[in-house]
Chains A and B, each alone.
Chain A
Amino acid sequence: MNDPKATPIYARPLDIRHGKVDMTHGSGGRAMAQLIHELFAAAFDNPFLAQGDDGAVLPTVPGRLVMATDAHVVSPLFFPGGDIGCLSVHGTINDVAVMGANPLYLSASFIIEEGFPLVDLQRIVQSMAQAAREAGVSIVTGDTKVVERGSADGVFITTTGVGVLVNGVNLSGKNARPGDGVLLSGDIGAHGMAIMSQRENLSFDAPIVSDTASLQGLVADMLTTSTEIHCLRDATRGGIATTLNEIAMQSGVGIMLEESAIPVQPVVAAACEFLGFDPLYVANEGKLIAIVAAEQAEAVLAAMRNHPFGKNAAKIGTVQKDAHHFVQMNTRFGGRRIVDWLTGEQLPRIC
């Protein structure tokens, strides 16, 4: 964070309640130093960030490292169940976690639009700090850029995560084998429809709440239960349909789903129906797909259901031999169809 070594003396503290980000906050001068000091460093507070150098020096860890990065450009920035801040932490932590790693550190890079209210920025930064704290992860380095009005939409946040791989774990989308069970950690489509119902001013008796959450606890419980988990993947943009097609292609297999086994909240199903979306393609921010050897699928499912973020977990299908690598589904109606790759864009900026 280019954190100043000695705390400089500013004429007066940031006026967070009424102030707005202006071009000086990205120019490298005193205004930027003050923003970093009073807003970012205050929220993210940890000894690595406090080193105050261009990069954070981190201790050695036992084991192989996993690194993942994710840019977040959601609109609206605040939505039921979360905001771009916690989303940017959960998203990257989950990418590290589903590799079977224990996430340790994050970097955070902000692109802020001129005129962005400081009070909103503070809310976002505090939400990031809380999400990181809850996940036991430190935000150890960062960057801030300010762009002219119209060159960005409020704030864009890119985070990069580093984690250490649990010994002996080797998860990959290439590992699915015919016969493996396909497990899903809970109901689908809540994040995407939470955002869309805000954008389209759809109101329901109870609002659709994003499922944004960090999954490293759930993953740890699953890995403790079984050594026969072949692949984990968080089903974000493009929904579970996209995730399953990626796995089928990488592993050179087919997948057969049972529509009746896939949990969807009624309010999410209703919103999808209304806007013409298929929940299979709608983003999640706290759900994972697990490909598990058949004989251990039940045990892993039980472990998932014991965790708060997996209590609605279900076995939704089976990996099968298929030269075409199709994902197919037995419909609740009694027919069968392909669940294909998404074509074009089903939803605008949601994560």
Chain B
Amino acid sequence: MKYVDEFRDGELARRLSVAIHAAVHPERQYRFMEFCGGHTHAISRYGIAELLPPNIRMIHGPGCPVCVLPIGRIDQAIQLALNHGVILCTYGDCMRVPASNRLSLLKAKAQKADVRMVYSASDAVKIAQDNPDREVVFLAIGFETTTPPTALAIQQAQRLGLSNFSVLCNHVLTPPAIQHILQTPVGASPIELDGFIGPAHVSTIIGSQPYEVFAREYHKPVVIAGFEPLDVMQAILMLVRQVNEGRSDTENEFTRAVTREGNRKAQALVAEVFELRQTFEWRGLGEMPLSALRLSSRYQAFDAEQKFGLAYVPVPDNKACECGAILQGIKRPQECKIFGTVCTPENPMGSCMVSSEGACAAHYIYGRFRE
């Protein structure tokens, strides 16, 4: 397949592998976090770990939208679908996320809730147009990549004069999460990271500039990389070189899509439709200030939380679940007691086991032969 196979070429991968092996200093450890679930998925699906020297450890970060969505938020969506009789539209990934009372949106659907899987926010607007006598709610999740399409859908609904469409907004922001990981003192053993692979699609929107602070103030190298496996390998090589040379710069491997400034038009659109929440709970990471968005006052009519008077009730995770430590890179999936026994992709207890972008599911589905 043209424009795809070029980035998955086995021969180039072998050459990059040789270059990485030659570049690393055998006496030291390299611990890199790939922030995004897209990178986690690529690393697992293409077996990239096999091509790296043993002293490079990849730590899976919290950039999996489904994984960081707290139980209380899914509960709100289920409540809307079951008790308010709305048509609840969402991305397929959200369907299986475990919520309270052993429910998920998929299970709520089996209890006759009208839950529909859509490929885009504008599909939900279309459903609202086609069902004028029903309330239609779009459960919006994701980082900066999926936020502009939600904003567009809201503006589209406004133009169409749809009063039966609203959004349950759970859009979150990447830079505060990275900052949280770098700042949180974690007991006696703070995680030591030697660098980050920066997000691909998120960076097409926000640009590379927002990461410069991490390189400058926390002295962590950042290399923004695409989601194809060769992108990831190239970024690892660039990180190794930065570490070896004692540099901490923000570099951009994904120049075919990412600029320093990002997509200004999308940024303006997001600023118009959304505003910062004072605080937002992330699954596994807890409350984080200024880390998520809600609809701005001009678009309040489309805010499902306001429209249906939904209160947010936080729900603690299963006690044995280590998703919090795993999302911060403190533990590996296989170090969780319930990994692969009580918690499997068929019966996920924690959110990291739900999406194939989650650290636990990626390791379970693709990598557990290594144990």
Could you tell me which A residues sit within 8 Å of B by CB distance? 200, 260, 266, 269-270, 273, 324, 326, 328, 330-338, 340, 343-344
Contact = CB atoms under 8 A, between A and B. Distances in A.
B346 A335 contact: no
B315 interface: no
Given A333-B8, A340-B365, 16 more contacts: A200-B119, A270-B1, A328-B369, A332-B8, A333-B47, A334-B10, A335-B49, A335-B229, A336-B369, A337-B45, A337-B366, A338-B366, A340-B345, A340-B364, A343-B365, A344-B96
A232 B181 CA distance: 51
B218 to A, nearest CB: 31
A54 B330 CA distance: 69
B48 interface: yes
B337 interface: no
A126 to B, nearest CB: 34
Nearest to A327: B369
Interface string B1-39: 100100011100110010000000000000000000000
Query: Mostly helix, strand, loop or mixed at chain B's interface?
Result: helix
B51 interface: yes
B50 interface: yes
Contact of A336 (B10, B50, B345): B50
Contacts of B361: 343
A281 B318 CA distance: 31
Given A269-B1, A326-B369, A344-B96, A335 B50 contact: yes
Contacts of A270: 1, 4
B256 to A, nearest CB: 17
Contacts of B8: 332-333
B1 A336 contact: no
Nearest to B362: A337
B187 to A, nearest CB: 33
Given A269-B1, A334-B13, A334-B17, A324 B369 contact: yes
A154 to B, nearest CB: 20
Interface in B329-371: 345-346, 361, 364-369
B10 A333 contact: yes
A333 B48 contact: yes
7 contacts: A266-B1, A326-B369, A333-B8, A333-B229, A335-B49, A336-B47, A340-B366
Given A333-B229, A334-B10, A273 B47 contact: no
A330 B46 CA distance: 9
B208 interface: no
Contacts of B367: 337-338
Interface string B36-60: 0000000011111111000000000
Contacts of B365: 338, 340, 343
Contact of A343 (B44, B48, B119, B345): B345
A269 B4 CA distance: 10
A330 to B, nearest CB: 8
A334 B106 CA distance: 37
A162 B45 CA distance: 41
B44 to A, nearest CB: 7
Given A333-B47, A344-B96, A338 B369 contact: yes
A316 to B, nearest CB: 16
B47 A334 contact: yes
Interface in B289-332: none
B53 to A, nearest CB: 14
Contacts of A333: 8-10, 13, 46-48, 51, 229
A249 to B, nearest CB: 15
A260 B51 CA distance: 17
Given A200-B119, A337-B47, A332 B369 contact: no
Task: Name the 6 nearest CB pairs between A and B, nearest first.
Answer: A335-B47, A343-B345, A333-B46, A337-B366, A335-B50, A337-B47
A202 to B, nearest CB: 11
Interface string B265-283: 0000000000000000000
A331 B50 CA distance: 11
Contacts of B369: 324, 326, 328, 336-338
A270 B4 CA distance: 9
A334 B14 contact: yes
Nearest to A348: B117
B4 A334 contact: no
Contacts of A200: 119
B346 A343 contact: yes
A333 B8 CA distance: 6
A265 to B, nearest CB: 10
Nearest to A254: B369
Contacts of A328: 369
A333 B232 CA distance: 12
A262 to B, nearest CB: 14
Nearest to B229: A333
Contacts of B13: 333-335
A200 B345 CA distance: 26
Contacts of A326: 369
Nearest to A335: B47
Contact of B46 (A269, A331, A343, A344): A331
